[in-house]
């Protein structure tokens, strides 16, 4: 990529997400930018920065060019400054704002109305949905029509740290770019548990009994996580500090504690299932005879053995099944039932 000495080349400020940025730059250089993107990563603030940089690049007055096409912004012109301050007439943002921290159908409809209008001072209309996993069902459905028939010179960008919560009908209509940081080493307890899960999965899993042994390994770990979460948050609760409190206040604190425990448990459950999904990805990579450098957990035995028993298509179906299970778990479905159905569909 061409650069200018002394200038701020915004896309180069994201070294940890270099692969996703590289794909964006390549698409810009080739004039093949998609109309809808899903940016997934560790921190929503970093995803917002990447989305903002793309919006600036598309509408920059003095962009850095490659093959005659803008591949980065100058980060200094009036357009770039307006987009940074979120005052640009053609770049719009939607964030969870209601009391329940969701993106409402009214917000979505407003955003869609804006993107249908012709640009007023730039070449592209850009709409960014921050925390797309927080779209209410009605809002997501209202968004689908625009995804299917986007107006000319418009870009839709969805941001999420938990993309598995987003409706599959929306995900399937977006180009997904991952901006996750490189995986850190497993904690000792994570490595121990994943090795146990892998060992049970390696055993012949054609019988229902074998699958239920695998389910039991998962449910036992989740029970440990829930108990530890309750103990940790309970110790921080004011209920532990004050013995004599009014009934109404006690009930309020109990409700707040229960909500906090459930929220933290769901987050840690999602992390555990992501470990399983990464291991299943290793199985898939083994079916493709990929090098060990691409594996998430080369130190965990078993993935290669499982890969020797299934096809690449079946390994890919495993990943899709676990993603669907993750989305299902963020509804009101019974946890044990959702996990049971998901594990029974996996190929081993």
Residue 298: inside a domain: yes
Q: Does 161 share its domain with 20? A: yes
Confidence of residue 159 (pLDDT cuts 50, 70, 90): very high
Domain count, the chain: 2
Q: Does 14 share its domain with 114? A: yes
Burial letters for 207-233: b for 16+ Cβ neighbours within 10 Å, e otherwise? eeeebeebbebbbebbeebbeebbeeb
Distance CA 247, CA 336 (A): 34
Using the predicted structure, report yes or no on whether residue 65 has a pLDDT greater than 60. yes
Q: Does 35 share its domain with 172? A: yes
Last residue of a domain, one of 178, 201, 217: 178
Show the domain range for 20. Answer: 10-178
Q: What are the tens digits of pLDDT across the range 190-243?
A: 899 999 999 999 886 666 777 889 999 999 999 999 999 988 888 877 777 777
Q: Does 163 share its domain with 219? A: no
Q: Does 249 share its domain with 162? A: no
% pLDDT > 70, the chain: 90
Using the predicted structure, report yes or no on whether residue 20 has a pLDDT greater than 70. yes
Last residue of a domain, one of 120, 143, 178: 178
Residue 159's beta-bridge partner residues?
A: 39, 130
Q: Does 143 share its domain with 235? A: no
Q: Does 244 share its domain with 337? A: yes
Q: What are the tens digits of pLDDT across the range 257-292?
A: 888 888 788 888 988 998 898 899 899 989 988 666
Residue 120: inside a domain: yes
Domain holding 143: CATH number? 3.40.50.300
Q: Does 210 share its domain with 288? A: yes
Q: Does 122 share its domain with 199? A: no
pLDDT of residue 4: 33
């Amino acid at each position: 990529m061409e650069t200018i000495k002394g200038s701020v080349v915004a896309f180069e400020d994201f070294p940890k997400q270099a692969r996703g940025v590289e794909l964006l730059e390549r698409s810009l250089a080739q004039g093949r930018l998609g109309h809808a993107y899903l940016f997934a990563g560790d921190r929503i603030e970093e995803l917002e920065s990447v989305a903002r940089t793309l919006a600036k690049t598309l509408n920059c007055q003095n962009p850095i060019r490659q093959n005659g096409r803008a591949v980065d912004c100058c980060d200094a012109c009036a357009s770039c400054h307006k987009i940074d301050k979120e005052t640009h007439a053609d770049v719009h943002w939607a964030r969870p704002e209601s009391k329940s921290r969701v993106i409402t159908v009214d917000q979505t409809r407003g955003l869609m109305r804006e993107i249908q209008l012709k640009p007023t001072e730039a070449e592209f209309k850009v709409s960014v949905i921050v925390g797309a996993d927080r779209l209410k069902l009605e809002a997501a459905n209202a968004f689908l029509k625009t995804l299917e028939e986007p107006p000319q010179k418009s870009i839709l960008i969805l941001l999420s740290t938990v993309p598995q919560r987003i409706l599959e009908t929306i995900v399937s209509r977006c180009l997904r770019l991952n901006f996750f940081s490189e995986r850190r080493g497993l904690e000792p307890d994570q490595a121990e548990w994943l090795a146990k899960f892998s060992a049970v999965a390696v055993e012949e899993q054609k019988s229902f009994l074998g699958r239920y042994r695998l389910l039991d390994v998962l449910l036992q770990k989740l029970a440990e996580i829930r108990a530890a979460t309750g103990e940790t948050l309970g110790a921080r609760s004011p209920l532990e500090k004050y013995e004599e409190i009014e009934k109404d206040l006690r009930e309020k604190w109990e409700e707040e504690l229960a909500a906090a425990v459930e929220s933290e448990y769901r987050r840690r459950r999602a992390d555990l299932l992501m470990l399983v999904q990464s291991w299943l990805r290793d199985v898939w990579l083994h079916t493709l005879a990929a090098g060990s450098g691409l594996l998430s957990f080369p130190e965990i035995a078993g993935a290669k053995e499982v890969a020797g028993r299934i096809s690449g298509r079946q390994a890919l179906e495993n990943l899709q099944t676990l993603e669907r299970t993750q989305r299902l778990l963020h509804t009101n479905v019974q946890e044990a039932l959702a996990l049971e159905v998901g594990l029974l569909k996996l190929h081993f």
